[in-house]
Amino acid sequence: MNYFNPQRVLSWLLSSLIAIVACALLLSALPNPVQAQSATEIFRNAYENRYTWDEDFPGYAAEVSINDQGRLDQGIIKIQPDLTVEVINIEDDQMRQLIANQLKTEIIHRRQVPFTQRHENDEYSLDRENDPDAIAITEKGDNGESHYRVRDNVITQVQRTLGDYAVTVDTIGTTPTPEGYLVVQFKAIFRDKDTGEILEQDDVRDFHEKIGKYYLLTSRAIRTTTNSDDPIAKPTPDTFIRFNDIQPL
């Protein structure tokens, strides 16, 4: 005859509880994949996961057209194999410099510099910030202190001071390639270093195409605000640059 036995139930619950606690203790003793990695390893893996051009990069030439706040111009650009930039046939010095600066910004991210060379004197530590979405890392080195956030092997935020400005760059969108990820949208915020006042915000959206062996920038759209308004909300870019007829040198 079956009947309810509270002692038997209590014994079963106690045995189950002991088993659960034992499993929890065993799991807690196992190394967490993130915790097992040092801050240096986490940042290095993300750094080396970026898409860069290799040492065989031949350079290229292209036609360039620009619309900067309604001002139109067009000319020729050349990026040499040593990654120097030329902007030709644009008479307006401001427009020419704007195009050159955008190409130099692109080159900074495409230039392949070994981690041990670029960051050999830097020290990394994990920040104790409660951020479930990213790993916060502090870098201290010859150029001062920088702060990063890394998620899924991607550097999603950079914070550093440049002269009188505090700069925060947030990665909003990326696209994968077999050689690493390309950032296709990012937002840069420039603040007064001392007061924290927002001086400028830029939303930058890029499009790359694989031409031959390399992914090259074919257009850049920049939305800008000079206050706390979010530039992402602007319906049209303030500056649009297009690169056509790209030819390797």
Give pLDDT tens digits for 24-82.
Answer: 334 334 444 444 479 999 999 999 999 999 999 999 999 999 999 999 999 999 999 99
Is the separation of the CB atoms in 43 and 137 below 8 Å? yes
Q: Which residues contact 83 (CB under 8 A, 6 or more apart)?
A: 57, 59, 107, 110, 111
pLDDT band for position 141 (50/70/90)?
A: confident
Question: Do residues 81 and 58 lie in contact, with contact meaning Cβ atoms separated by under 8 Å?
Answer: yes
Tell me what pLDDT residue 54 has: 95
d(CA 149, CA 39): 11
Amino acid 68: pLDDT: 97
- Exposed, middle or buried: residue 147 (CB in 10 Å: 0-12, 13-18, 19+)? middle
pTM above 0.75, yes or no: yes
Mean pLDDT over each residue of the chain, to the nearest integer: 87
The span from the CA of 87 to the CA of 95, in Å, is: 10
Tell me: pLDDT of 207 over 90.
yes
Q: Are 63 and 245 in contact (CB under 8 A)?
A: yes
Nearest to 49 by CA among 192, 153, 166: 153
Strand partners, 237: none
